[in-house]
Structure 1
């Protein structure tokens, strides 16, 4: 497997915020989000080839019961099913952070952290290789795949929001998914990799959450460590 990084930190987003976790970041992605903060694992995949046994040994050396499989897009990684099963057999809690474009067939997962990509993610003309903008736009939302994840695994839905009007696209997608989704399972996260940008968007998102019953998703790791790798 091509692995970008493995590190021990605390979960910075979602329902498990603050929980000590080992992060396994696979390298490679089927999308090209304009604001991606891990382009070294998506736009320009970098990393080391590691066997499942090597990955497991690195993870098991840390005193954590929670493991986060992230990316890039971990569901496109060769060997991801075998790796997740190895963690399941070891009694680890497995969070899979995914855009929800790949079906969850046969994957061991205790929390599906689904982050469907809104229109604000599509790269601009001229900033990416020819063809990728169209590929991204075509692939970024897969309502039937999202419904399969929601029906098979405990889940949370995290949306990266730039402006209040993004909620219209979110709610249209929730209707298209067609599965019961309690409002508190929908998390609105401000787009940004620095506190100034995040603070500039959080007031409007908090207001949306109060009016719609959604959950505000803070980016604790940015507040604690800044936008740095291995955190």
Structure 2
């Protein structure tokens, strides 16, 4: 059985604690959510079947040790854990970006799971798997995508439910670019004395006219 792959590309990591580093991205097809602000709708259905071996060969061609498996929602595909394990076995540092609606322990805990907690403006906050908060390790990351002050309050309230083992600099507050100016989110964080990392999607600053392959 193959994986359905939307694209494999080499770019600058635009988000997470790895922002700014070169990274190979394996974007898998399919998502079980429909967030209002989604910027990868093309990954809902577009893709081609690939076995783990050819994916590994393509990743190796970029000569980069940092690899992110993303989507869509990569945990929807049954062979995603196999791909993550194969990359780990080859010595890659592996990130898995997930929307937080599915059990993150499907993939090896040696991966850094970058897990969304969906805020109200996404339209999908009811789909958060609350048990995932207890599955987080010190190697993982949690991301809140914030579009308004209601989202911000929701994120702040959720901070108390995060495990103490998760470092503060691995808690990410990200804005919806079309809805929330960066200085406003920064101001809210400073006023509330939030111990978390504000991030701006670096790849959209570098390549503002490109939607794919970045």
Which TM-score applies when normalising by structure 1?
0.83
Aligned to 1:166: 151
Aligned to 1:35: 37
CA RMSD of aligned residues (A): 1.8
Aligned to 1:99: 99
Residue 10 of structure 1, CA deviation: 1.0
The unaligned stretches of length 5 or more in structure 2 are none
Does structure 2 retain, via aligned residues, the 8 Å contact 1:3–1:47? yes
Aligned to 1:129: none
Aligned to 2:182: 202
Q: Secondary structure at the match of 1:87?
A: helix
Q: Secondary structure at the match of 1:97?
A: strand
Aligned to 2:27: 25
Does structure 2 retain, via aligned residues, the 8 Å contact 1:100–1:146? no
Q: Secondary structure at the match of 1:12?
A: coil
- The C-alpha deviation readout for 1:66-122, integer Å capped at 9, x for no partner, is 000000011111200110111011000000101122213352343111111111111
- The C-alpha deviation readout for 1:22-51, integer Å capped at 9, x for no partner, is 000000111111110001113xx1100111
The unaligned stretches of length 5 or more in structure 1 are 123-135
Residue 133 of structure 2 corresponds to residue 146 of structure 1: yes
Residue 217 of structure 1, CA deviation: 0.5
Q: Secondary structure at the match of 1:167?
A: helix
Does structure 2 retain, via aligned residues, the 8 Å contact 1:101–1:146? no
Residue 178 of structure 1, CA deviation: 5.0
Aligned to 2:163: 179
Q: Rate the CA distance shift 1:144–1:162 in 2: closer, same or farther, 3 A.
A: same
Residue 197 of structure 2 corresponds to residue 215 of structure 1: yes
Considering fraction of residues, name the structure with more helix.
1
Count of aligned residue pairs for this structure pair: 207
Residue 183 of structure 1, CA deviation: 3.6
CA distance in 2, matches of 1:37, 1:61: 27
Residue 211 of structure 2 corresponds to residue 228 of structure 1: yes
Which TM-score applies when normalising by structure 2?
0.89
Aligned to 1:61: 61
Aligned to 1:120: 121
CA distance in 1, matches of 2:151, 2:126: 18
